[in-house]
Amino acid sequence: MPEIPDLENVKSFLEQHILGVAVQGAETPRGWVIRYPTALEFVRTLEGDAVQSIARRGKFLLFSLRSGHLLAINSMLTGRLQYREGQPKKVHKRTNFILHLADGHDLLYYDQKSMGKVYLVPADRLDLIPNFSKMGPDALEMSLLEFQERLRKRRGMVKPILTDAEFIAGIGNAYADEILWEARVHPHKNAASLSVEEVERLHSAIGSVLRWAIGIVGEEMRCDIDRKIRDFLRVHRKGGEPCPRCSHTISEIAVRERVTSFCRQCQPEVPQHHLGLRSGRAGGEASAAQTAS
The set of catalytic residues is 2-3, 59, 258
> Would strands 117-122 and 251-255 be described as parallel, antiparallel, or unpaired?
unpaired
- Residue 21 and residue 98: Cα distance in Å, rounded? 14
- Residue 94 and residue 108: Cα distance in Å, rounded? 10
Beta-carbon contacts of 57 under 8 Å, excluding residues fewer than 6 positions away, are: 132, 135, 138, 169
- C-alpha distances in Å from residue 8, one per residue of 3, 18, 218: 9, 15, 9
Q: Helices in the chain by DSSP H: which ranges? A: 4-17, 39-46, 144-152, 158-162, 173-183, 196-221, 288-291
Of 24, 6, 2, the residue nearest 220 (C-alpha):
6
- Residue 225 and residue 6: Cα distance in Å, rounded? 8
Question: How long, in residues, is the chain?
Answer: 293
- Residue 215 and residue 199: Cα distance in Å, rounded? 25
